[in-house]
Amino acid sequence: MTDLRPRTRRSPSPRGIARHGQLKKGGPLPTLFAIVGAALVVLLVSAGGVASISAYNVAATIRKGAVDIGEEGEAAPPAVGALKGGFNVLIVGSDQCEEWDGCQGPGDRGSGKLNDVTMLLHVSEDQTNAVAVSFPRDLIVPIPSCKREDGNGDTAAMAAQQINVTLSDGGLPCTVKTVEALTGLDIQYAGLITFKGVIAMSNAIGGVKVCVTGDLDDDYAKIHLKAGSHTLKGAEALAFLRSRHGIGDGSDITRISSQQTFLTSLVRKLQSKGTLGNPTTVYKLANAAAENMQLSTSLASLDTMYSMALALKDIPLDSITFVQYPSRLNVPGPYEQKALPDVAKASQLFDLIKDDKPFKLANNGENAGATEDPNADDDYTPATNSPSTSNPSSSSTSTPKPTKTSDADKPTVDIEGITSDQKSCSVTNN
């Protein structure tokens, strides 16, 4: 492992956009990036002599196609040093089908390139909690001028447009720029994954356990499940994540809640002995991720990913929270069929995130798209070996973390969400 260098600050913020202060460190765990970070750290510390060869191959792959998400003329940020603080990472899921089995369905654009999933992960400065914020794809937001991916000039700024057009406007850097302006957070790292990548990585991990309250029948997403528990992988896992018409009220809002039941189960599996303790599974996972993700230049480094994973390994499940960006639906006017930002609730949420203040959810994980699993069991056995115990060089990152804030001292936010320790079922409309 090479020495890790301190990260430089980003260039000054555009006028009028509030930015979170410099975040010194980072480590994402939830959503699809969890697959990348967890896979690579175990690859490096658990596979012995084979790891060095495997890591070299994976490292070469992740550097291909990396994209700079910084300002014009700014050099790509170097790898982070000893991780002693928090950071932000944006994960974007493209709806580009790439002619992969399971992608196509009634109404699919096939060749489209919209950010079907946009999720921002923040890890607190003291590394005791993490928050993942999902943005509805039809959320109406201001979109700044972005550089076109083909290099032919800039796109025009828009005062009000769906957030999911940013990927087609200017690629991953444009989505990053838009979310930074909306949230006031400085995003140091980003990754893009397509449908093909979701299929490949869910296969590599051996599937994720989910449950549905009733029969799930969605011809658009091409998925049909009986009520109860299922282990999903491949095209079926992708179809579940895409399903909207069979979940809740059929809106993107309830679909996000359903996706979060999948992601919390994924987090529990990634922390389990059966995943992190199996070098073969981990290598397949790392390789699938490397081959199917476009990363920011700041993230396309094994050193950086390794340091992130070490920083995250001790965050407890009940301190990893998935929430939705607060929005209002059915507001009369030109955007009646879209989601409009709930400014008051969003301000409360991001003030807490910027101040690294843990919070509790008023709905306790219960909403129109997800509900407590009445038959929940101990689905995954936690891993007993952590990266720091497997690699002596990581001893400097294993200092005790501050005591967690008790629930009684946490402020309550009235937004849709769930914590990773909660075992929930997706609510179907059957």
- CATH code assigned at 251: 3.40.630.190
In three-state secondary structure terms, 359 is: coil
Q: How many angstroms from the chain centroid is the CA of residue 172?
A: 14
What CA–CA distance (Å, rounded) separates 243 from 163? Answer: 19
Tokens of 290: 């490397």
Nearest to 243 by CA among 116, 75, 411: 116
For 310, the domain range is: 31-426
Is the Cα torsion angle 288, 293, 297, 298 positive or negative in sign? negative
On whether the pTM is more than 0.85, the answer is no
Is residue 326 assigned to a domain?
yes
Is residue 331 assigned to a domain?
yes
DSSP 33: H
Is residue 106 assigned to a domain?
yes
Is residue 16 assigned to a domain?
no
Nearest to 374 by CA among 421, 424, 417: 424
For the chain, what's the residue count? 430
Q: Amino acid identity, residue 163?
A: I
Question: Would you call 402 exposed, middle or buried from its count of C-beta atoms within 10 A (0-12, 13-18, 19+)?
Answer: exposed
Per-residue pLDDT, 304: 73
Name the CA dihedral angle for 239, 90, 163, 252, rounded to a multiple of 10 degrees.
30
* Structural domains in the chain (count): 1
Residue in the block written with tokens 């807490």 = 352
Provide CB contacts within 8 A for 125, sequence distance 6+.
23, 24, 25, 85, 86, 356
Tokens of 262: 């999948």
What CA–CA distance (Å, rounded) separates 122 from 356? Answer: 9
Is the Cα torsion angle 418, 32, 92, 187 positive or negative in sign? positive
Per-residue pLDDT, 274: 65
* Pair type for strands 216-218 and 158-162: unpaired
Strand blocks (E) in 233-382: 293-295, 320-324, 327-329, 339-341, 360-361, 370-372
Q: Amino acid identity, residue 179?
A: V
Query: Residue 153 region, left (φ>0) first, then alpha (ψ -120 to 50), else beta?
Result: left
Is residue 151 assigned to a domain?
yes
Is residue 2 assigned to a domain?
no
What spatial distance separates the first Cα and last Cα of the chain, rounded to whole Å? 53
DSSP 371: E
Q: What is the mean pLDDT of each run of 10 residues along the chain (430 residues)?
A: 33 32 34 42 36 59 80 42 70 67 46 79 88 93 92 91 91 95 93 79 85 93 93 90 88 84 80 66 72 81 70 78 91 91 96 94 78 75 46 42 72 89 87
Run of H or E including 90 = strand 87-94
Tokens of 164: 């999911």
Per-residue pLDDT, 166: 93
Nearest to 251 by CA among 150, 339, 362: 339
Is residue 17 assigned to a domain?
no
What are the b/e assignments for 324-352, b being 16+ CB within 10 Å? Answer: bbbbebeeeeebeebbbbbeebbebbbeb
Is residue 5 assigned to a domain?
no
Around Cβ 157, how many Cβ atoms within 10 Å?
11
